[in-house]
Amino acid sequence: MKIVVCIKQVPDTKGGVKFNPDGTLDRGAMLTIMNPDDKAGLEAALRLKDQYGAEVTAITMGLPKAEEVLREAMAMGADKGILVTDRVLGGADTWATSQTLAGAIRNLEYDLIITGRQAIDGDTAQVGPQISEHLGIPVISYAQKIEIEGDSVIVERQYDDRYHVLKAQMPCLITALAELNEARYMTPGGIFDAYDAEITVWGRADLKDVEDSNLGLKGSPTQIAKASDKVRKGAGEKVALDPTEAVAYIVGKLKDKHVI
């Protein structure tokens, strides 16, 4: 079985967020991590590899620095890493990103593609399903459990109050939730091997069946009007009162602020 896992290097929001003047993220200036949902997707792929045997390829689109996240994936157990990087691909929204990744994945053999549900920097949850659309394969999103049966996958798809059990024939794309599993640690030896291994680097020219008009900032229908760091809320006020007094207190506060 061949599994492709799409991963993204995202800002470690614990380290603060920095923006370019045009409102896009200044990715070069921030501490980075592997997107948590993607890490769960990678872990799911590695568990399928442990259980059924599989070749796991991690692929990412980003700055050259994003190779770090591929090395991390390989140090966890991925067999190969592919970095898709090119100036013309910069500033991509979800549409242009999914077009890019689909163009790259068309060069690969795969039974399963696993992406994270969404990235913590964009929070759109669109790229995975869009890739499946471009490739013309089924998608099962919000996976909380993945099993293989013959040439099909059986996936528990999470909802707020229930889950669906869905079966799809492979090739298929699955989007994973961070809650799907607890990702394994890299191993020290895995890290050494990952840094000795070759990372495949692809540019625009390596993307298959993709129009220029669907790539990069120019190919992105989404325009960012404004972006800013989150304004930190105050610590709030805690009072210990019995329920009747508490209601009176809150109502009084709301009246003071002319909310009611």
Partner 1 sequence: MDFMLTKKHEMARSLFKEFAEKEVKPLAQEVDETEIFPRGTVEKMAKAGFLGIPVPKEYGGQGCDPLTYAMCVEELSKVCGTTGVIVSAHTSLCCDPIQTYGTEEQKQKYLVPLAKGEKLGAFGLTEPGAGTDAQGQQTKAVLDGDEWVLNGSKIFITNGKEADIYVIFAVTNVVTDAKGRSKKMISAFIVEKGTPGFTFGTKEKKMGIRGSSTYELIFTDCRIPKENLLGAEGKGFGIAMHTLDGGRIGIAAQALGLAAGALDRTIEYVKERKQFGRAIGAFQNTQFQLADMATKVEAARLLVYKAAMAKATQKSYSIEAAQAKLYAAEVAMEVTTKAVQLHGGYGYIREYDVERMMRDAKITEIYEGTSEVQRMVISGALLK
Would you tell me which residues interact with partner 1 (CB under 8 A)? 68, 71-72, 75, 184-192, 194-195
Of the two residues 30 and 215, which places its CB atom closer to partner 1 in the complex? 30
Cis bond upstream, residue 171 (ω within 30): yes
Of the two residues 188 and 236, which places its CB atom closer to partner 1 in the complex? 188
Of the two residues 47 and 184, which places its CB atom closer to partner 1 in the complex? 184
For residue 213, give Cα distances in angstroms to 35, 60, 165, 229. 28, 21, 38, 31
Query: What's the closest the beta carbon of residue 183 comes to partner 1, in angstroms?
Result: 11
d(CA 5, CA 80): 10
Burial class (CB in 10 A: 0-12, 13-18, 19+), 86: middle
Query: What's the closest the beta carbon of residue 256 comes to partner 1, in angstroms?
Result: 31
Residue 189: CB atoms within 10 Å = 9
Query: What's the closest the beta carbon of residue 134 comes to partner 1, in angstroms?
Result: 33
For residue 173, give Cα distances in angstroms to 65, 107, 125, 178. 26, 16, 13, 16
Of the two residues 2 and 184, which places its CB atom closer to partner 1 in the complex? 184
Query: What's the closest the beta carbon of residue 18 comes to partner 1, in angstroms?
Result: 21
Query: What's the closest the beta carbon of residue 190 comes to partner 1, in angstroms?
Result: 8
Of the two residues 69 and 180, which places its CB atom closer to partner 1 in the complex? 69
Of the two residues 188 and 221, which places its CB atom closer to partner 1 in the complex? 188
Residue 175 contacts by C-beta under 8 Å, 6 or more apart in sequence?
37, 41, 114, 115, 116, 117, 125, 128, 129, 139, 140, 141, 142, 143
Q: Which amino acid is at 212?
A: D
Query: What's the closest the beta carbon of residue 3 comes to partner 1, in angstroms?
Result: 22
d(CA 140, CA 138): 7
Query: What's the closest the beta carbon of residue 188 comes to partner 1, in angstroms?
Result: 4
State the DSSP H helix or E strand holding residue 11, giving kind and residue range, or none if neither. strand 9-11
At which residue do the structure tokens 């989404």 appear?
A: 222
HSE (side-chain half, CA atoms, 13 Å) at 111: 19
Structure tokens at 213: 């008009």
Of the two residues 188 and 234, which places its CB atom closer to partner 1 in the complex? 188
Query: What's the closest the beta carbon of residue 46 comes to partner 1, in angstroms?
Result: 13
Of the two residues 6 and 34, which places its CB atom closer to partner 1 in the complex? 34
